[in-house]
């Protein structure tokens, strides 16, 4: 039986990263995000078809997330060198182009496994998106089949609902009253 993650401390991680401009490598840990909200999302592979639509949409909305004191971190099982190649390849050549957040490498697949989204027989992650609060508690998760992209608007809506501090009815939107 799968273990519940929502409402518990988010599984810790440390991974290598490449910056969104593809110029620098580094490392990131969950503890680096203490005091901020984190939208932490997995995608299956670099140089694929659905993944760049999600990554660029989240990148385009990065200022909206930043206004909500929220960082974004993308991760796949590819190496940081593959991430760098994808970021520095022009979009018209199947590249990603520069983005507004780093990409992390879960080359060992440990983090995808810890978050319960590793497809072991394929060695890749499902499209898992997690919202982690400033204290490190996992507040939200959504996992999609790899054929279907996620919604930036829904991610922003849920983040704002979580930050509202109250009970939010179905289809709650910013500005609506809490229950």
- Catalytic residue positions, numbered: 51
Strands (E), the chain: 14-18, 25-29, 37-42, 70-76, 103-105, 118-119, 124-125, 127-132, 138-144
Count of residues in the chain: 179
Q: Which of 104, 117, 170, 165 is nearest to 139 (CA)?
A: 165
No. of helices (H) and no. of strands (E), the chain = 5, 9
Collapsing DSSP states into helix, strand and coil, what is residue 36? coil
């Amino acid at each position: 039986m799968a273990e519940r993650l929502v409402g518990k401390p988010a599984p810790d991680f440390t991974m290598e990263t490449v910056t969104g401009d593809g110029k620098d490598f580094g490392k990131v840990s969950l503890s680096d995000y203490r005091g901020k909200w984190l939208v932490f999302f997995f995608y299956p592979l670099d140089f694929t078809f659905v993944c760049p639509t999600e990554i660029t949409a989240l990148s385009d909305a990065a200022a909206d997330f930043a206004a909500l004191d929220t960082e974004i971190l993308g991760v796949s099982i590819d190496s940081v060198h593959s991430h760098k190649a994808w970021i520095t390849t022009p979009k018209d050549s199947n590249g990603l182009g520069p983005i507004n957040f780093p990409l992390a490498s879960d080359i060992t697949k440990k983090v995808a496994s810890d978050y319960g989204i590793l497809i072991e027989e394929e060695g890749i992650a499902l499209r898992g998106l997690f919202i982690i609060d400033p204290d490190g508690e996992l507040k939200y998760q959504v996992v999609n089949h790899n054929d279907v992209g996620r919604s930036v608007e829904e991610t922003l809506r849920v983040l704002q609902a979580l930050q509202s501090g109250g009970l939010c009815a179905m289809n709650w939107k910013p500005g609506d009253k809490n229950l």
